[in-house]
Structure 1
Amino acid sequence: MTRVVFLLVPQVHLLDLAGPAQVFSTAADLGLDYRTEYVADREDVPTAQGLPLRAGTEWPDLESGDLVLVPGWRSPKTAGGPRLTDAQVAQVQAHHARGGTVGSVCSGAFALGQAGLLDGRRCTTHHSLQDELARRFPAATVERDRLFTTDGRVVTSAGIASGIDLALHLVAVRHGPAAAAQIAREMVVYARRGGDAAQDSAMLRHRSHLSDAVHRVQDLIDVRFAEPLRLADLASAAGVSERTLTRRFTESTGLTPLRYQSVLRLERAEHLIAQGSPVESAARAVGFGDARMLRRLRSARFQS
C-alpha cells in the first residue's frame, strides 16, 4: 500500500488539495493500492475558500514508497504566510531522508523551502509567486512557466489545477501511462500535460482585455480553429466591419484574427506531436493543408 499524506496548513486552497486527492482516490477505486491521509497541527483546518476541514494530528508510520504532499495556501506574500511547525519540518525532512518522496502544490513549495529541501534543486510554483520563492530560497533553482518539476524525490507543481497533472505524473511513474490515462478519463481530464508545458494556454493568454466583441470572436475561433474561417463571418459574429474587427482584435490581443487562429493551431499541433502523432497527421488534424506550414511555424517558434 502506498500512503499519500497531505500536510495541511491554515488557509489551504481547496483545489490544491482536492485535485491530487481525487487522483489518488480514483486510483484506489480502480484497484491501485493507495490510501490518502490528512495531517495538520490542529484538527480543525480553515481553508482559503471558507469551508473548514478536519484532519488528524498524528503522523502515520511512513515508508520510503510513501508520498508527503503539501497543498498551497492563500498567498505567502502577505505577512510571511503560514509556516510549518518545527515538528512538521522534522517529519518532512525525516521522510525524505528515509528515501521517501515529498511534493508541493502552488505555495506549498515555500514549506519545502522552509524544510531545506529546495536547496540545490529545481522547483516551481504558481507564476505569481516565482519571484518571491526565488528571493526567499536563493539556493533553489526556480523554473518558470512549467507545470511541475521533479528533482531528487522532491516534486513541485505550479498550483491549482496543475496539482492534478503532478499527481497523474506520479501515478504514471509508478504504474505506467495507461493507468494514469484511465484515471484522467474517469476524472474527465481533457488532456494530460507534461511538466514542461506552459502554465497558461494561448486561449487564456490573450484574454485579459475588456472588448466584448473580440471575446465573442475568440470564442468562435477557439471552437472552430481547425476550420477555414472567413474574416467577413467573424466580423458578422462580432457585429462590426472587417476593418474594425481587425483593428480591435489587434489592439486587444496583439494579434490579427488569422494569426490568433494559427497560434491555436500550432499549440494544439505541438500537443499532438508530444503525444506521438507524426507531424503530417498533426498538421491535418489542426487544419493545415499539409505539414509545410506547420514546420515553418514550429521553426520560427524555436528560433524566436
Structure 2
Amino acid sequence: MTHVVFLLVPQLHILDLAGPAQVFSTADDFGYGYEMGYVAEQEDVPTAQGLPLRARTDWPRLEPDDLVIVPGWRAQGPGAGGRIGEASLQRIREHHAGGGTVASVCAGAEALGRAGLLDGRRCTTHHEVQDELARRFPRARLVPDVLYVVDDRVVTSAGIASGIDMTLHLVAVRHGPAAAGRVARSMVVYARRNGDEQQASAMLRHRAHLSDSVHRVQDLIDARFGDSLHLADLAAASGVSERTLTRRFGEVTGMTPLRYQQLLRVERAEHLIGQGTTVESAARAVGFQDARMLRRLRARDAPEFAPAGPAPRTPR
C-alpha cells in the first residue's frame, strides 16, 4: 500500500488537488494499492474557489515508497495563499532525504523551493508564476512551458490539468504504462501527455477573443487540420462571406485561416518528431504531401516551434 499525502495550503486550487487525487483514487479502485491522506497546519483550509476543506494536522508515518504532493494555491491578487510553516517544510525535506518522492502542482513548487529541494534541480511551474519562482530560487534550473519535470525524486508540474499528467506518469513509473492507460481511460482523459508538451498550444494561444464566427471556424480547423480545407467551406461554416471571414479572422488572431491551420500542423508534427517519428512521416501524418513544406515552415518559425524538451532557463 502506497500512502499519498497531500499538504493543503490556504487558498489552494481545487483542481490542483482533485486531479491528482482522482488519479490515485482510480488506481486504487483497480487494485494498485493507494491510500490518501490530507494534512494541513490548521484543520479548516479555505480554497481559492470558495469550497472549504478539512484536513488532519498530524502527519502519518511515511516510508520511501510513499508520496508527498503539494497542490498549488492562488499566487496572485487579493487573498493570495501560500502560507506554510517551517515544520511542514521540514516534513517535506525529511521525506525526500529518506528516499521518498515529493511533488508539486502549480505554485506548490514554491514549497519545494523553500524546503531547499529545487537547488540545482530541473523544475517547472505554471507559466504565470515561473518568473517569480526563478527570482526567488535562483539556483533552481527552471524549465519553462512544459507540463511536468522529474529530477531526483522531485517532481514539479505546470498546474491545473497538468497535475493529472504528472500523476499518471507516476502511476506509469510504478505500475507500467498499461496501468496508467487504464486509469486515463476511466477518467476519460483522451491521452496521457508527456512532460515536454508545451503548456500553451497554438490552439489555445489564438482563442482569446469573442468572435463567435471565428470560433466556429477554429473548431472546424482544430478537428480537421490535417485535411484540405477550402476558404469557401470555412466561410459557409461560419455563416459569413469569404471576405468577411478573412477580415474577422485576421482581426482577432492576427493571421489567416490557412496560417492557423499550418500552426496546428507544425505543432503536431513537432510533437511526433519529438517522440521519434521521422520528419517525412510526421509531415504526411499532419497533412503535408511531403516534408518540404514542413521543413520550410519549421525553418521560418524556428523560435515558435522549438523542439520538444527545452533547455533549462536562466533566471532573469
Scaled by the length of structure 2, the TM-score of the pair is 0.88
Q: What letter corresponds to residue 154 of structure 1 in structure 2?
A: V
Asked whether the 8 Å contact 1:24–1:34 carries over to 2, the reply is yes
Give runs of aligned pairs for residues 106-255 of structure 1, distance below 5 A.
106-255=106-255
RCO greater where, 1 or 2, for CA within 8 Å and sep 6 or more? 2
Asked whether the 8 Å contact 2:10–2:81 carries over to 1, the reply is no
Asked whether the 8 Å contact 2:69–2:103 carries over to 1, the reply is yes
Structure 2: gaps of 5 or more residues: 305-316
- CA drift at 1:205: 0.8
- CA drift at 1:260: 0.9
Asked whether the 8 Å contact 1:77–1:132 carries over to 2, the reply is no
For 2:18, the equivalent position in structure 1 comes to 18
Q: What letter corresponds to residue 60 of structure 1 in structure 2?
A: P
Secondary structure, aligned partner of 1:41: coil
For 1:91, the equivalent position in structure 2 comes to 91
- CA drift at 1:124: 1.1
* CA distance in 2: counterparts of 1:77 and 1:119, whole angstroms: 27
Identity of aligned residues (%): 71
For 1:264, the equivalent position in structure 2 comes to 264
Secondary structure, aligned partner of 1:82: coil
* CA distance in 1: counterparts of 2:57 and 2:155, whole angstroms: 24
For 1:44, the equivalent position in structure 2 comes to 44
Asked whether the 8 Å contact 1:13–1:47 carries over to 2, the reply is yes
Q: What letter corresponds to residue 132 of structure 2 in structure 1?
A: E
Secondary structure, aligned partner of 1:180: helix
Scaled by the length of structure 1, the TM-score of the pair is 0.91
Q: What letter corresponds to residue 147 of structure 2 in structure 1?
A: L
RMSD (CA atoms)? 2.2
Asked whether the 8 Å contact 2:148–2:195 carries over to 1, the reply is yes
* CA distance in 1: counterparts of 2:262 and 2:116, whole angstroms: 44
For 1:101, the equivalent position in structure 2 comes to 101
Report how many residues are paired.
304
Secondary structure, aligned partner of 1:107: helix
Structure 1: gaps of 5 or more residues: none
Q: What letter corresponds to residue 248 of structure 1 in structure 2?
A: R
Distance 1:274 1:188, change over 3 A: farther
- CA drift at 1:242: 2.1
- CA drift at 1:284: 4.1
Bigger CA drift: 246-255 or 53-62? 246-255
